[in-house]
Amino acid sequence: MSHLKFVALAAALCCACTSSERRSAAPSEPTLAAPSGDFASFAAAVNGTEPSGDPPPAWINNPAELGPEFPQSASNCDFVEFPFPAGVQPYLHPYAACRERAWGGSGIHRQQGRGLHVSSLPKCNGGPGDIEEIRLCKHGWAGQQTTWGKAGPLGCVAIQVTPTCGA
């Protein structure tokens, strides 16, 4: 059989089946369905890159402070997603700063603030002051008990708070 006749015969055989037959004959790719309401755990199981469980103390507490070299312009805390209570003015002072990082896809966010102004602090007899703070936030935590205590109405738990009165 000549080469041209062989190619023509092969092409005819390939085209003989309908497109739906070709699709059904193709090997199917496995499908994965996420368990309802737990996408972070599902992602962790599928790709093995997301952390599971609570973040370790070293991730929460370190670095323990924002040094003076960290400028306010580098701040990245999302106060829309996880707002402070009304009495907190996070960037009132030029030295104030805040940085945020997420614990993989868990939904837990760590916010660390420096020089955050508060109009009324109980530890300052109701007077104004500034706080240095590390807090953890997550949607769904509002008013819920967490590993670190009960979350406030905005879904955040204060891990470490150091007030300075009169600022």
Instruction: Give the separation between CA 40 and CA 17, rounded to whole angstroms.
Output: 43
Tokens 């059989």 locate to 1
Q: What is the pLDDT of residue 92?
A: 95
pTM for the whole structure: 0.68
Q: What is the pLDDT of residue 62?
A: 87
Which amino acid type is present at position 34? A
Q: What is the distance, to the nearest Å, from the Cα of residue 161 to the centroid of all Cα atoms in its chain?
A: 22
Mean pLDDT by 10 residues, the chain (167 residues): 40 39 36 34 45 86 85 94 92 95 94 96 95 96 96 95 91
Structure tokens at 130: 């500034």
Instruction: Give the separation between CA 19 and CA 26, rounded to whole angstroms.
Output: 11
Our CA angle for 109, 135, 127, nearest 5°, is 145
